[in-house]
Amino acid sequence: MEFEKIKLVTVDITQLAVDAIVNAANRTLLGGGGVDGAIHRAAGPDLYRECLMLEGCDTGSAKITNGYRLPAKYVIHAVGPVWRGGNQNEENLLESAYQTCLQLAKQYNCKTVAFPNISTGIYGFPKENAAEIAIRTVQKFLNKNEIPERVYFVCFDQENYNIYQSRLEL
C-alpha cells in the first residue's frame, strides 16, 4: 500500500486549515464532550443552529455543515458506534462512518480532510482495532478516487499516534 496521501499529525483539529474536518459526533449532532465539544466551541453558535436543522444522524453515517469560525470550510459530522463488546456490528458501523465521510468529501470537492480518532474516546472502541479500520477504509477509498487528495489522521494522544504510526510504516 502507498501512504503518501495520508499524513499523521498531533495538532488541534480545530486549527487545521483544510477543506473539511471530521467531527466525532453523537447522534444529535448538537455538541458534546471531547473533539465534538471543541469543534462546536471553535465554530461558534451558527454551527449549532445548522446542526439543529439536520435533525440528527444515524450511527455509521455522517452529515456535512459549514465550518463557520473554523479555518476549515466544512465540518463532516460522523457518528461512530459505541463499543459494546464487538457483537453489535460496531466494526461495520465504524467503517461505514469513515466511508460516508469520504463520500461527502468527494461530493463537496474537499481536497483535504482531517479525521480524529472516531469512537475511541468515551465510546470505548478499542484504539488498535479502530486505527486498522480507519486506515484500511481511507486507503481503499483513496486508491479508487482522486478526491480527497490528502487525508490527515489527527491524534489527540500519544497512544493513538503510536498506533497509527506503526500501521502507516508497514
Q: What's the CATH number where 59 sits?
A: 3.40.220.10
Mean pLDDT (whole number) for 10-33: 96
**Residue span of the structural domain in which 80 resides:** 6-158
Is residue 3 predicted with pLDDT exceeding 70?
no
Q: Is 46 among the residues known to form the active site?
A: no
Cβ contacts of residue 13 below 8 Å, gap of 6+?
21, 35, 38, 39, 114, 116, 154
Q: Is residue 144 part of a domain?
A: yes
Prediction pTM value: 0.96
Q: Is residue 53 part of a domain?
A: yes
Is residue 170 predicted with pLDDT exceeding 60?
no
Q: Is residue 169 part of a domain?
A: no
Q: Is residue 82 part of a domain?
A: yes
Is residue 1 predicted with pLDDT exceeding 50?
no
Mean pLDDT (whole number) for 82-88: 95
Q: Is residue 34 part of a domain?
A: yes
Q: Is residue 166 part of a domain?
A: no
- Residue 115 carries which DSSP code? E
- Given 12, 19, 36, 46, which residue is catalytic? 36
pLDDT at site 123: 95
